[in-house]
Amino acid sequence: MIKVSAGTASVLGLKKIKMDVSPTTAHLLHGEKCANNCKFCPQARESHSDLELLSRIVWPSYEINKVIESLKEAFDKEELKRACIQATNGKGAFEKSKELLEMISKQTRMPLSVASNINSVEKVKALIEAGAQKVCIAMDAATDKIHCDIKGNNYDQKKKLLKMCAELFPGKISTHFIVGMGESEEAVIKEIDTMYQWGVTVGLFAFTPIKGTEMENVNPPQIGQYRRVQIANYLLKRQYATKENMIFNEGRLIEITLEKEQLLKILKNGTAFETAGCPGCNRPYYNEKPGGVMYNYPRALNNEEVNQAIEEAALLIDL
């Protein structure tokens, strides 16, 4: 059996749910209670959350072969662009991720990402050989201190591994940052810039408090803070600007030294505010409640939404 996100189950025709936006990446999850103890995660060793949850998503289980067959069909019909295998850190998790990658890549050419507990170059190599197009080594936190407090393991070691893997497997390595866990905008933007310098793909998440986790009472980030990080991420990713173009005051991004008209033109298509990560990954409602604050838009924005997002960033850009 394998867990799939409720939205994925719906695209695969395994479950009927009402969705205003469908996921374009299928999300699969294996493993039970995690051996790690990340304070934000409902699957963490000491969390009391519903084990059906990862972030704010519910994950029903289905028979593996049925899921793979449906993945193939959905990819052939262009309903899905990618599949992402996520794993909790438990006994046999790495082998299981490898096995799943092999099973899926035998049946379909759809691009595959894997976000598993990975701590060596050899494991990354093995996952790529098994069929992964992107291997995610998630930083999650943007500073050593926050990483130690929240995830409890070594930040520098993980960064070293990311750098090494990005050199050895160009274009195949990705990471995640969760915005709003106490870091400054400057700290996370600096780390994002480093990742792009190394050729690592960056996925952005907004911190989401989940009941039963140690961080259940921590507030999600202010929307302005998230918008500024999204804008910086987009400008760095597309090389419209460097971090030298970004001016900070007490850790907050206050200005981008591009011509205002040029900056507005870049931001007007709204892409900066769409979900960032592996190509084709839109993760609808991973961080957002329907009708709530849209941290990551899982679809193209309309004009009104773009203008609102630019205003929320409060970077003194005249519309």
Query: Residues interacting with ligand SF4, by CB under 6 A?
Result: 25, 82, 84, 113, 115, 134, 136, 174, 176, 203, 277-278, 281
Residue 82 vs 263, nearer CB to ligand SF4: 82
**Distance from C-alpha of 91 to C-alpha of 318, rounded to nearest angstrom:** 54
Minimal distance, residue 203 CB to ligand SF4, in Å: 3
Residue 119 vs 245, nearer CB to ligand SF4: 119
**Distance from C-alpha of 99 to C-alpha of 93, rounded to nearest angstrom:** 10
DSSP assignment letter at 53 = E
187: left (phi over 0), alpha (psi -120 to 50) or beta: alpha
Residue 12 vs 263, nearer CB to ligand SF4: 12
Minimal distance, residue 208 CB to ligand SF4, in Å: 14
* CA distances in angstroms from 267 to 84, 234, 238, 304, listed in the order given: 28, 9, 12, 13
Residue 294 vs 315, nearer CB to ligand SF4: 294
What does the block give as tokens for 122?
Answer: 């050899």
**Distance from C-alpha of 91 to C-alpha of 110, rounded to nearest angstrom:** 28
Residue 136 vs 263, nearer CB to ligand SF4: 136
Residue 128 vs 263, nearer CB to ligand SF4: 128
**Nearest to residue 209, comparing CAs of 223, 220, 199, 200?**
220
Minimal distance, residue 25 CB to ligand SF4, in Å: 5
Minimal distance, residue 265 CB to ligand SF4, in Å: 27
Q: For 88-143, where are the E strands, in sequence order?
A: 112-115, 134-136
**Distance from C-alpha of 222 to C-alpha of 298, rounded to nearest angstrom:** 19
**Nearest to residue 149, comparing CAs of 182, 195, 191?**
182
Is there a contact between 189 and 246 (Cβ–Cβ < 8 Å)? yes
Q: For 88-211, where are the E strands, in sequence order?
A: 112-115, 134-136, 173-179, 201-206
Minimal distance, residue 279 CB to ligand SF4, in Å: 9
Residue 115 vs 118, nearer CB to ligand SF4: 115
- Residue nearest to ligand SF4 according to CB distances in the complex: 277
Minimal distance, residue 286 CB to ligand SF4, in Å: 8
> Which residues lie across from 27 on neighbouring strands?
84
Minimal distance, residue 112 CB to ligand SF4, in Å: 9
239: left (phi over 0), alpha (psi -120 to 50) or beta: left
**Distance from C-alpha of 131 to C-alpha of 82, rounded to nearest angstrom:** 12
Minimal distance, residue 56 CB to ligand SF4, in Å: 14
CA dihedral sign of residues 284, 289, 290, 291: negative
Residue 192 vs 256, nearer CB to ligand SF4: 192
**Distance from C-alpha of 135 to C-alpha of 185, rounded to nearest angstrom:** 26
Residue 136 vs 246, nearer CB to ligand SF4: 136
Minimal distance, residue 255 CB to ligand SF4, in Å: 29
